[in-house]
């Protein structure tokens, strides 16, 4: 029965600012890290609630982000507003399928994957699902690594707005969808920051303890 | 049940000296530092706990100075030029932000400004300050603060994403007009590479060890908070999010 030792159950906290191990008195609610001075908690405070809130916000904002136009290319006075998905199709039909794939991954696949990943992580902790923690950690790492790449489309828009500005001949204007999309990216990045991956391991440990307590009497009978 | 708990708790509590805990799965470890040139990885969840690079502080100081110097031409020189008939327009780092701001997209403009200009610049400044400042004991407090700032700021510098955005913009407008690459783009690419190299070479643990040599920063694997349980109602709301 050599269970791996978790810091919290042994009276230790890890400072998330500098990763110093701190021994705290049993009933401590919060304290300051002696090394870097950051406020510490045993687990990120209200982590699950905050992650849920930010994830739901992001999911709702994803609707206007995809329905409203993100930018309009006006060429010789005419031009139709394009949404994120139609921008991808334009690139694909123009023959740049490689770039179209990159834009598709960055601005459609990544935000959706991120939201799905966050919902899975939250559900694992909330409903104490029987998911192997290593699997959850893989989701967590993927979600935290890919998030920033969604801003690709917005950088592109900001470049084009400055570049293509020739009055009546050609002009690129940003659309209201881009604001919603930017907010989706920012909100989901905060959601990942708010999620404490150690909660996944807490659930796993407590389930293991429960099953050990249940199987112990039956083991004695045999 | 009693046998059970005694069996698993006693040897751990009294024999093992814990030195570190994984920040992602809370596993207690008996080692706190990796040997130079290697990294410490959590055996349970696989998270990289710290990477002890060879001459981390010196390399980071040099790289951040390089990045700061490269920032000057990147911010002033045009990155790409777009020409259509006889008209031409150039794009600098700030140009796009200004155009969005003028069009009324203030929120969008500030995100682009923060992620492509302010965060990378602040990153170089903070790392340079941390690496040079950690040599003096009297600088311990501001350096500790800078380390915390850097920790929060780290993921918001998006030079690599911006670079890809430039490439997509180049391709997207290539059938409308003529796109030319300007010298600023080379400086930008170099700054992006330097920025990634700086992130890799920097290790906060090395700086903390260096600070402990010069100032009264605890250098024990386990420390205890000085003031006992201060339960003031003001919750650390910034901690969870920012």
Encoded tokens for A95: 């023959």
Chain B residue numbers with beta carbons less than 8 Å from the beta carbon of A145 are none
Q: Are residues B209 and B179 in the same domain?
A: yes
pLDDT band per the 50, 70, 90 thresholds, residue B239: very low
Domain for residue B183, yes or no?
yes
Chain B residue numbers with beta carbons less than 8 Å from the beta carbon of A72 are none
Q: Are residues B41 and B152 in the same domain?
A: no
Q: Please tell me the total count of domains within chain A.
A: 2
ipTM over 0.90: no
Among partner residues B91, B103, B169, which is closest to A174 by beta-carbon distance?
B103
Range of the domain at B46: 11-52
Q: Are residues A2 and A31 in the same domain?
A: yes
pLDDT digits (tens, 9 = 90+) for B78-110: 888 888 777 778 888 888 899 899 888 899 999
Chain B residue numbers with beta carbons less than 8 Å from the beta carbon of A16 are 23, 239
pLDDT band per the 50, 70, 90 thresholds, residue B59: very high
Interface of B with A in 134-163 (CB under 8 A): 144-145, 147-148, 151, 155, 158, 161-162
Domain for residue A208, yes or no?
no
Stretch B4-8: mean pLDDT: 39
Q: What is the CA A14 to chain-centroid distance, rounded?
A: 22
Order of strands across the sheet that contains B222-223: A12-14, A21-23, B222-223
Range of the domain at A124: 47-68+83-153+176-200
Q: Are residues A20 and A121 in the same domain?
A: no
Domain for residue A192, yes or no?
yes
The pLDDT > 90 percentage for chain B reads 31
Q: Are residues B30 and B116 in the same domain?
A: no
**C-alpha distance from B11 to closest chain A C-alpha (Å):** 10
- Cβ distance of B241 and A27 shorter than 8 Å: no
Domain for residue A1, yes or no?
yes
CA–CA distance, B119 with B105 (Å, rounded to integer): 20
Q: Are residues A61 and A91 in the same domain?
A: yes
Q: Are residues B123 and B86 in the same domain?
A: yes
Among partner residues B23, B107, B224, which is closest to A19 by beta-carbon distance?
B23
How wide is the angle at C-alpha B230 spanned by C-alphas B226 and B236, nearest 5°?
A: 105
pLDDT digits (tens, 9 = 90+) for A34-58: 888 888 888 888 899 999 999 999 9
Domain for residue B168, yes or no?
yes
3-state helix, strand, coil in chain B (%, to 5): 60, 10, 30
Q: Please tell me the total count of domains within chain B.
A: 2
Q: Are residues B128 and B188 in the same domain?
A: yes
Q: Are residues A98 and A187 in the same domain?
A: yes
Q: Are residues B108 and B196 in the same domain?
A: yes
Q: Are residues B32 and B116 in the same domain?
A: no
The pLDDT > 90 percentage for chain A reads 37
Chain A residue numbers with beta carbons less than 8 Å from the beta carbon of B15 are none
Chain B residue numbers with beta carbons less than 8 Å from the beta carbon of A41 are 236, 239
**pLDDT at B40 > cutoff 90:** no
Domain for residue B230, yes or no?
no
Q: Are residues B87 and B165 in the same domain?
A: yes
Domain for residue B235, yes or no?
no
Domain for residue B91, yes or no?
yes
pLDDT, residue B7, reads 39
Domain for residue A167, yes or no?
no
Contact B166, B186 (CB under 8 A): no
Among A27-41, B27-41, B191-205, which range has the highest average pLDDT? B191-205
Q: Are residues B110 and B138 in the same domain?
A: yes
Q: Are residues B42 and B97 in the same domain?
A: no
Mutate: best of A140, A159, A172, partner B, most B CBs <10 A = A159
Q: Are residues B87 and B145 in the same domain?
A: yes
Q: Are residues B96 and B41 in the same domain?
A: no
pLDDT digits (tens, 9 = 90+) for B132-171: 888 887 888 888 889 989 988 988 999 999 999 998 888 8
pLDDT, residue B54, reads 85
Q: How many CA atoms lie within 13 A of A96 on its CB side?
A: 20
pLDDT digits (tens, 9 = 90+) for A52-97: 999 999 999 999 999 999 888 887 777 778 888 988 988 888 888 8
Mutate: best of B14, B21, B30, B205, partner A, most A CBs <10 A = B21
Domain for residue B238, yes or no?
no
């Amino acid at each position: 029965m050599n269970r791996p030792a978790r810091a919290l159950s042994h009276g230790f906290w890890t400072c998330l600012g500098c990763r110093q191990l701190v021994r705290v008195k049993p009933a401590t609610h919060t304290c300051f890290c002696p090394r870097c001075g950051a406020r510490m908690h045993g687990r990120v405070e209200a982590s699950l609630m905050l992650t849920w809130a930010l994830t739901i916000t992001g999911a709702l904002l994803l609707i206007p982000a995809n329905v409203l136009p993100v930018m309009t290319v006006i060429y010789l006075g005419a031009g139709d507003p394009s949404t994120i998905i139609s921008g991808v199709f334009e690139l694909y039909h123009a023959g740049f399928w490689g770039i179209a794939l990159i834009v598709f991954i960055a601005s459609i696949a990544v935000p959706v994957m991120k939201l799905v990943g966050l919902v899975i992580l939250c559900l694992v902790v909330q409903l104490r699902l029987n998911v192997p923690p290593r699997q959850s950690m893989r989701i967590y790492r993927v979600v935290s690594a890919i998030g920033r790449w969604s801003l690709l489309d917005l950088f592109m828009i900001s470049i084009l707005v400055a570049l293509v500005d020739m009055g009546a001949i050609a002009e690129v204007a940003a659309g209201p969808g881009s604001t919603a999309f930017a907010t989706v990216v920012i909100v989901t990045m905060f959601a990942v920051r708010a999620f404490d991956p150690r909660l996944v391991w807490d659930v796993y440990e407590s389930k293991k303890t429960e099953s050990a307590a249940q199987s112990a009497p039956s083991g004695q009978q045999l | 049940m009693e046998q059970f708990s005694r069996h698993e708790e006693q040897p751990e509590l009294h024999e093992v000296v814990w030195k570190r805990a994984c920040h992602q799965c809370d596993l207690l470890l008996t080692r706190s530092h990796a040997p130079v040139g290697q990294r410490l990885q959590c055996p349970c969840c696989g998270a990289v706990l710290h990477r002890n690079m060879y001459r981390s502080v010196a390399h980071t100081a040099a790289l951040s100075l390089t990045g700061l110097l490269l920032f000057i031409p990147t911010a002033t020189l045009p990155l790409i030029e777009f020409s259509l008939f006889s008209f031409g327009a150039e794009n600098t780092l700030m140009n796009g932000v200004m155009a969005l701001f003028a069009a009324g997209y203030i929120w969008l403009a500030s995100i682009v400004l923060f992620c492509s200009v302010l965060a990378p610049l602040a990153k170089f400044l903070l790392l340079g300050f941390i690496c040079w400042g950690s040599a003096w004991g009297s600088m311990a407090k501001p350096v500790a603060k800078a380390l915390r700032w850097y920790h929060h700021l780290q993921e918001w510098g998006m030079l690599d994403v911006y670079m890809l955005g430039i490439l997509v913009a180049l391709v997207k407008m290539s059938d409308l007009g003529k796109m030319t690459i300007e010298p600023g783009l080379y400086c930008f690419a170099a700054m992006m590479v330097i920025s990634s190299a700086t992130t890799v070479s920097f290790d906060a643990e090395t700086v903390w060890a260096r600070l402990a040599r010069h100032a009264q920063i605890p250098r024990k694997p386990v420390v205890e908070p000085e003031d006992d349980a201060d339960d003031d109602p003001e919750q650390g709301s910034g901690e969870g999010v920012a």
